[in-house]
Amino acid sequence: MLIRNVDPASDLHIDFVPMVDVLFNLLIFFLLATSMAQSEREMSIALPQAVASGPISAAMREIVININADGSITLAGKSTTTDELAATIRAAVASNPDQKVSIRGDRNTSYANVASVLDVCKGAGIQQPYLETIPTR
């Protein structure tokens, strides 16, 4: 007499191909989203060194102002003037009084360029602009 194994688990088959497809799609999405968010911080600005430097916790969206070595100001990937910068910061402060601003000045730029951007930020209502640096080795 032949006895059959009537185990319903033996007929169970899981197809892993759709799961792997979904996993790769999610991986690609998050890689692209992360790289777009970091594009402004990866501009070719040579930051000066400081002992007490550290990352900023981004509780809210901060405004990142880049000052190139020649003194030109870049905001959101576009070159801007001090008047346009002041108008942008005033609008941001009007909608959020606790607006955070990071100033990334090239180490080879004149301090006058950094001071003029700091003056614009203070005049537009930013209480504590943050000067970004890199840690010393």
Pick the CATH number of 49-135 from 3.30.460.10, 3.30.420.270, 2.102.10.10, 3.30.70.100: 3.30.420.270
- The proportion of the chain whose per-residue pLDDT surpasses 90, expressed as a percent, equals 8
Cβ-based neighbour number of residue 131 at 10 Å: 16
**End-to-end C-alpha distance for the chain, whole angstroms:** 80
Q: How many residues does the chain have?
A: 137
Give the distance from CA 81 to its chain's centroid.
22
Cβ atoms of 73 and 82 closer than 8 Å: yes
pLDDT tens per residue, range 51-101: 766 555 434 578 888 998 888 888 888 888 889 989 998 888 888 888 888
Delimit the domains of the chain by residue range: 49-135
